[in-house]
Amino acid sequence: MANPTIYINPVSGSIKILGAVDFVDAEGNILETKENVKFCGCSLSKDKPWCDGSHKAITGQNRSTNS
């Protein structure tokens, strides 16, 4: 399995991970595995910890872009 690739957008703060990501509890037990996730780094998302595009209100990015 290839390592996931992480993209950090320095403008929006969003963190996109391409590839499989294991979500674990405090003991390291895998709770869920997801593919291609995007976390909020701006704190504006209404669906934290996921990025919902709300950062575009402060970055001026067009909603049609994938950033």
Q: Report the amino acid identity of residue 18.
A: L
Give the whole-angstrom CA distance, residue 18 versus residue 63.
20
Residues 6-45 that bind ligand FES (CB under 6 A): 12-14, 40-42, 44-45
Name the minimum Å distance from CB 27 to ligand FES: 29
Give the whole-angstrom CA distance, residue 67 versus residue 63.
9
Q: Report the amino acid identity of residue 32.
A: E
| Residue closer to ligand FES, measured from CB, 22 or 52 | 52
Name the minimum Å distance from CB 6 to ligand FES: 14
The only residue of 18, 37, 54, 61 in contact with ligand FES, by rule CB under 6 A? 54
> What is the CB neighbour count within 10 angstroms for residue 40?
21
